[in-house]
């Protein structure tokens, strides 16, 4: 964008002229941009997607650019609904509206959008607001006849009457209604009759909807591809008609507590199109029911049975029917050796397997499993605490193409085993080694995985700067690095990382006590950084934060809890530079009213956590809360509840802000080793 700005001095403002093909040199100066066709400029604009501020800068160059940008924009994600009418007149070609950042979307907002966008509007996302009703939705549905996509999730106050208004949107194809708890069969019935072209419908947590509503959907909306019925009180009455849907590919039945083996036994007609099935947390379903499901859905590619029944030989046998199966997720299920072995035998083309938190995963079971598995790409063995280097040896020798390996808290795996991972699995892109015994030798070996983009080393107390230096030198594509409570890490380790991995987007150095401002100064060179967690780093000061603010313009999430040395001096540059910041945690820092109030200039700011700020006064808090117009969630100490007039909170809640009150007492910092010991005690 800098280039564009240089040009702005040469560009003659073209008054009342938004056609830049018109090569009119009116004597004063000549603009090369006038030679560019609209299409070329649009193509350039298409590529300006990284930072939303870029397009803004572009439009500020000259009037012509301003008009072009207005004409080009299709997607709008406004921060406030108040200014929408004006914004909508500026952007007449908008097709996608994302209102998730607006804390308050009312009927008036929707009416404005409807009359401004008319038939242009294709998609609208209202998933974060609950202040609108059926009236606004009716306006949308009637005026925007080309509306295809509508997200109404979390509209917890929405009633059947509003659902009936949605039904007026005849061309709707994708509809999300997660957590619309007040909607019943009647409302869903209206939608089923009205929106006949629905291809995707999510009714997750719509606990008022039962067999009748879902059954009617299955009868009327024959085009459904994806259906999410999680946590609905549905039973065998509607299941057969759902599985009769000709094009159904993706079905989620998570936590449908009324479905049991008997209700699945009635399924006879096969659903040949179904590819993804999620039946997690259905407590009453055993391998008998699953067997009858699988016998009629033989084209399944992905099965999720998390927190379900025991994975034994019988269940594995029923999986045998699914010849196209590629992915199995069994998180949290009790498993047996025989079951794992049979899965290994039957499902030879597996690409993805998840066994996280499965009790009963042993070396023996995994050895059986991995004798035939060669193509596995994604493996999750989080919290399989019984496995040792035997399993790791088998996994790494048979699945050399592994791209993602998650093995948090496999505490019995010795440090030598991690060398095997680096030696054999060179395609790894994602590696989660949180809470493991890995040491510098292991890291050195893992640094051979040059494609690595996400590496999690939280609570790995054996690693030091030396190992991290290898990572920094070799894994240049690293985007995500988690060093939570890695107490052996100091600034020199960070030097290697920040110097090598310039594309870093997320860094967690929480409770790495040795880290100082130098590290933050180094990180300020990583321009892509959007998430920084450095809580509990006592040496970090406002200086380091200022450097981050100036360098990392993409910053959206910042956690500086318990950075006691950070004060108002750090907030002011943050407020000035980090215009993308959405979430900040300032608890226990030395920030006062002034610093807090300065944050009000960050218009994106939505989530604010301010517990135990010594310098915070009630009036300062009130001023900040009132000044930050976009706040949607604020975590506060409960003592402020009585210190401020109730009217302020009522006002803020009406504006769309949610308060979370915490009673926590001020806690002193623990030694990390002692902390880990506590955690282990708790688990035993």
Partner 1 sequence: MDHKEMPCPTADTWGKSFPSGNELLKNISSDDTPLTSSQRSQQKWEDPSMLDYNARIEPPFQDFKQRSETQSSLPCNPNNHNKVTDEEDVQMNGTIQTEKIQDWDPRAMLNNLTFLEQKIHQLQDLVHLIVGRRSQALGRPDELVAQQKQLITADLTSIIVQLISTAGSLLPSVKPLSGTTPTGQLGQLGGLFLPSTVGLNGSVQLQNNSGSKVSDQSNQMDITVNCGNEQNYNMEEHESKDDEDADEGENLPPGSYEILQLEKEEILAPHTHFCTICGKGFKRDANLRMHMRGHGDEYKTPAALAKPNKEATSEPMLIKRYSCPYAGCKRNKEHKKFQPLKTILCVKNHYKRTHCDKSYTCSRCNTKKFSVIADLKTHEKHCGKDKWLCSCGTTFSRKDKLFGHIALFQGHTPAIPLEETKGPNVPPDRGEGNEAINKVRSINFNFGSNAPNGNEVQNTADVKGNIEDPTGYFSPLNFDTWNFGGFHEFPRPPYEDSESSLSFLIPGSCNYTVPGSCNFTQKTGAESSSNNPE
Q: Which of residues 614-653 bind partner 1 (CB under 8 A)?
A: 619-620, 622-623, 626-627, 629, 645, 647-648, 650-651
Nearer CB in complex with partner 1: 303/634? 634
> How far apart are CB 22 and partner 1 at their closest, in Å?
22
Token pair listed for 154: 């979390």
* Span between the terminal Cα atoms of the chain, in Å: 57
Strand duo 250-252 + 583-585: pairing: unpaired
> How far apart are CB 408 and partner 1 at their closest, in Å?
32
- Residue of 209, 228, 220 lying closest to 245 (CA atoms): 220
Kindly tell me the burial class for residue 667, based on how many C-beta atoms sit within 10 Å of its own C-beta (0-12, 13-18, 19 or more). Answer: exposed
The DSSP bridge partners found for residue 250 are 226, 276
> How far apart are CB 53 and partner 1 at their closest, in Å?
5
Verify binding: residue 31, partner 1, rule CB under 8 A: no
Taking CB under 8 A as the criterion, the residue among 38, 98, 301, 345 binding partner 1 is: 98
Kindly tell me the burial class for residue 32, based on how many C-beta atoms sit within 10 Å of its own C-beta (0-12, 13-18, 19 or more). Answer: exposed
> How far apart are CB 267 and partner 1 at their closest, in Å?
19
Verify binding: residue 576, partner 1, rule CB under 8 A: yes
> How far apart are CB 623 and partner 1 at their closest, in Å?
5
> How far apart are CB 476 and partner 1 at their closest, in Å?
27
Taking CB under 8 A as the criterion, the residue among 149, 185, 435, 441 binding partner 1 is: 185
Nearer CB in complex with partner 1: 234/510? 234
Element (DSSP H or E) covering residue 385: none
Verify binding: residue 601, partner 1, rule CB under 8 A: yes
Nearer CB in complex with partner 1: 209/413? 209
Nearer CB in complex with partner 1: 506/594? 594
> How far apart are CB 533 and partner 1 at their closest, in Å?
21
> How far apart are CB 188 and partner 1 at their closest, in Å?
9
Nearer CB in complex with partner 1: 375/650? 650
For partner 1, how many residues bind (rule: CB under 8 A)?
Answer: 77
Nearer CB in complex with partner 1: 495/572? 572
> How far apart are CB 642 and partner 1 at their closest, in Å?
16
Element (DSSP H or E) covering residue 223: none
The DSSP bridge partners found for residue 151 are 125, 176
Residues 65-94 close enough to bind partner 1 by CB under 8 A: 66, 75-80, 82-83, 85-87, 90
Indicate the SS3 state at residue 651. Answer: helix
| Structure-derived torsion over alpha carbons of residues 150, 156, 160, 163, reported in degrees to the nearest 10 | 0
- Residue of 121, 154, 151, 156 lying closest to 139 (CA atoms): 121
Verify binding: residue 59, partner 1, rule CB under 8 A: yes
Residues 218-237 close enough to bind partner 1 by CB under 8 A: 219-220
Check the CA dihedral 418-423-425-431 and report its sign.
Answer: positive
Verify binding: residue 197, partner 1, rule CB under 8 A: no
Check the CA dihedral 425-427-433-439 and report its sign.
Answer: positive
Verify binding: residue 603, partner 1, rule CB under 8 A: yes
Verify binding: residue 575, partner 1, rule CB under 8 A: yes
Verify binding: residue 519, partner 1, rule CB under 8 A: no
> Cβ contacts of residue 3 below 8 Å, gap of 6+?
none
Taking CB under 8 A as the criterion, the residue among 145, 157, 375, 680 binding partner 1 is: 157
Stretch touching partner 1 by CB under 8 A, among 208-216, 278-286, 298-306, 415-423? 208-216
- Residue of 227, 191, 189 lying closest to 210 (CA atoms): 189
Taking CB under 8 A as the criterion, the residue among 579, 633, 635, 675 binding partner 1 is: 579
Residues 102-121 close enough to bind partner 1 by CB under 8 A: 106-108
Check the CA dihedral 116-120-125-131 and report its sign.
Answer: positive
The DSSP bridge partners found for residue 531 are 506, 557
Element (DSSP H or E) covering residue 660: strand 658-662
Taking CB under 8 A as the criterion, the residue among 5, 52, 349, 641 binding partner 1 is: 52
> How far apart are CB 354 and partner 1 at their closest, in Å?
32
CA 492 distance to own-chain centroid: 32
Strands of 457-588, DSSP E: 480-482, 506-508, 531-533, 557-559, 583-585
> How far apart are CB 4 and partner 1 at their closest, in Å?
16
> How far apart are CB 352 and partner 1 at their closest, in Å?
31
> Cβ contacts of residue 520 below 8 Å, gap of 6+?
534, 540, 544, 545, 547, 548
Stretch touching partner 1 by CB under 8 A, among 50-58, 119-127, 278-286, 446-454? 50-58
Kindly tell me the burial class for residue 39, based on how many C-beta atoms sit within 10 Å of its own C-beta (0-12, 13-18, 19 or more). Answer: exposed
Place of tokens 């207005």: 70
Verify binding: residue 133, partner 1, rule CB under 8 A: yes
> How far apart are CB 339 and partner 1 at their closest, in Å?
30
Whole-number Cα distances in Å, 663 to 100, 640, 660: 30, 11, 10
Nearer CB in complex with partner 1: 134/255? 134
Taking CB under 8 A as the criterion, the residue among 14, 117, 164, 180 binding partner 1 is: 164
CA 462 distance to own-chain centroid: 31
Taking every pair of Cα atoms in the chain, the longest distance, rounded to a whole number of angstroms, is: 86
Taking CB under 8 A as the criterion, the residue among 36, 193, 338, 495 binding partner 1 is: 193
Residues 543-572 close enough to bind partner 1 by CB under 8 A: 572
Nearer CB in complex with partner 1: 418/640? 640
> How far apart are CB 643 and partner 1 at their closest, in Å?
12
Nearer CB in complex with partner 1: 399/546? 546
Nearer CB in complex with partner 1: 440/567? 567
Nearer CB in complex with partner 1: 421/574? 574
Verify binding: residue 365, partner 1, rule CB under 8 A: no
> How far apart are CB 55 and partner 1 at their closest, in Å?
8
What is the C-alpha separation between 511 and 431, in angstroms, rounded? 21
Taking CB under 8 A as the criterion, the residue among 402, 455, 597, 610 binding partner 1 is: 597
Q: Between helices 185-194 and 211-220, what is the axis angle to 10°?
A: 0
Q: Which residues of 387-424 are buried (b: 16+ CB within 10 A; e: fewer)?
A: bbbebbbbbbebbeebbbbbbbbbbbbebebbbbbbeb
Strands of 411-524, DSSP E: 430-432, 454-456, 480-482, 506-508
């Amino acid at each position: 964008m800098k280039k564009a700005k240089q040009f702005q001095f040469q560009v003659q403002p073209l008054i009342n002229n938004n056609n830049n093909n018109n090569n009119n040199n009116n004597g004063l100066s000549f603009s090369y941009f006038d030679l560019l066709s609209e299409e070329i400029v649009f193509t350039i604009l298409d590529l300006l997607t990284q930072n939303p501020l870029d397009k803004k800068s572009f439009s500020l160059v000259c009037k012509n650019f301003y008009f072009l940008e207005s004409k080009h924009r299709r997607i709008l994600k406004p921060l406030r609904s108040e200014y929408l009418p004006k914004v909508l007149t500026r952007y007449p070609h908008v097709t996608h509206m994302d209102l998730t950042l607006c804390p308050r979307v009312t009927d008036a907002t929707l009416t404005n959008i409807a009359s401004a966008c008319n038939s242009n509007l294709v998609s609208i996302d209202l998933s974060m607001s609950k202040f609108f009703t059926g009236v606004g939705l009716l306006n949308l549905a009637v005026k925007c006849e080309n509306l295809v996509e509508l997200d109404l999730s979390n509209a917890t106050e929405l009633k059947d009457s509003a659902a009936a208004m949605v039904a007026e949107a005849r061309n709707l194809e994708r509809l999300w209604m997660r957590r619309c708890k007040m909607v019943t069969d009647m409302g869903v019935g209206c939608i089923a009759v009205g929106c006949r072209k629905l291809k995707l419908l999510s009714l997750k947590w719509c606990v008022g909807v039962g067999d009748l509503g879902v059954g009617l959907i299955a009868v009327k909306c024959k085009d459904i591809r994806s259906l999410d019925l999680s946590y609905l009180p549905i039973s065998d009455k509607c299941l057969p008609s759902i599985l009769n849907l000709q094009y159904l590919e993706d079905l989620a039945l998570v936590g449908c507590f009324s479905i049991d083996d008997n209700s699945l036994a009635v399924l006879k007609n096969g659903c040949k199109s179904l590819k993804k099935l999620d039946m997690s947390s259905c407590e009453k379903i055993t391998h008998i029911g699953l067997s009858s499901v699988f016998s009629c859905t033989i084209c399944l590619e992905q099965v999720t049975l998390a927190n379900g029944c025991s994975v034994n030989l019988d269940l594995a046998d029923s999986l045998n029917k699914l010849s196209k199966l590629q992915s199995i997720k069994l998180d949290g299920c009790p498993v047996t050796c025989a079951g794992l072995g049979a899965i290994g035998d039957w499902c030879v083309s597996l690409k993805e397997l998840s066994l996280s938190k499965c009790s009963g995963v042993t070396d023996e079971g995994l050895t059986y499993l991995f004798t035939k598995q060669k193509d596995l790409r994604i493996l999750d063995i989080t919290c399989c605490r019984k496995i040792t280097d035997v399993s790791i040896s088998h996994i790494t020798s048979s699945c050399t193409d592994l791209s993602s390996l998650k093995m948090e808290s496999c505490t019995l795996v010795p440090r030598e085993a991690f060398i095997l991972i680096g030696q054999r699995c060179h395609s790894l892109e994602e590696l989660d080694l949180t809470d493991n015994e890995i040491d510098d030798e292991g890291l050195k070996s893992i640094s051979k995985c040059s494609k690595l983009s996400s590496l999690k080393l939280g609570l790995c107390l054996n690693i030091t700067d030396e190992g991290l230096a290898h990572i920094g030198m070799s894994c240049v594509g690293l985007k995500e690095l988690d060093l939570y409570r890695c107490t052996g890490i100091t600034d020199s380790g960070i030097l290697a990382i920040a110097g090598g991995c310039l594309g870093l987007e997320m860094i967690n150095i929480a409770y790495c006590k040795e880290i100082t401002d130098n590290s933050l100064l180094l990180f300020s060179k990583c321009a892509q950084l959007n998430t920084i967690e450095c809580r509990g780093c006592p040496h970090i000061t406002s200086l380091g934060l200022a450097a981050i603010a100036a360098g990392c313009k993409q910053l959206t999430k910042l956690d500086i809890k318990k950075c006691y040395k950070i004060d108002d001096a750090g907030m002011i540059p943050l407020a000035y530079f980090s215009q993308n910041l959405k979430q900040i945690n300032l608890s226990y820092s030395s920030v006062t009213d002034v610093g807090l109030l300065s944050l009000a200039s960050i218009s994106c700011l939505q989530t604010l956590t301010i517990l135990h700020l010594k310098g915070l006064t009630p009036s300062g808090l009130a001023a900040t809360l009132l000044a930050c117009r976009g706040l949607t969630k604020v975590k506060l100490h409960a003592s402020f509840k009585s210190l401020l007039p109730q009217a302020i909170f009522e006002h803020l809640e009406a504006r769309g802000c949610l308060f979370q009150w915490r009673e926590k007492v001020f806690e002193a910092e623990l030694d990390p080793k002692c902390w880990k010991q506590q955690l282990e005690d708790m688990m035993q």
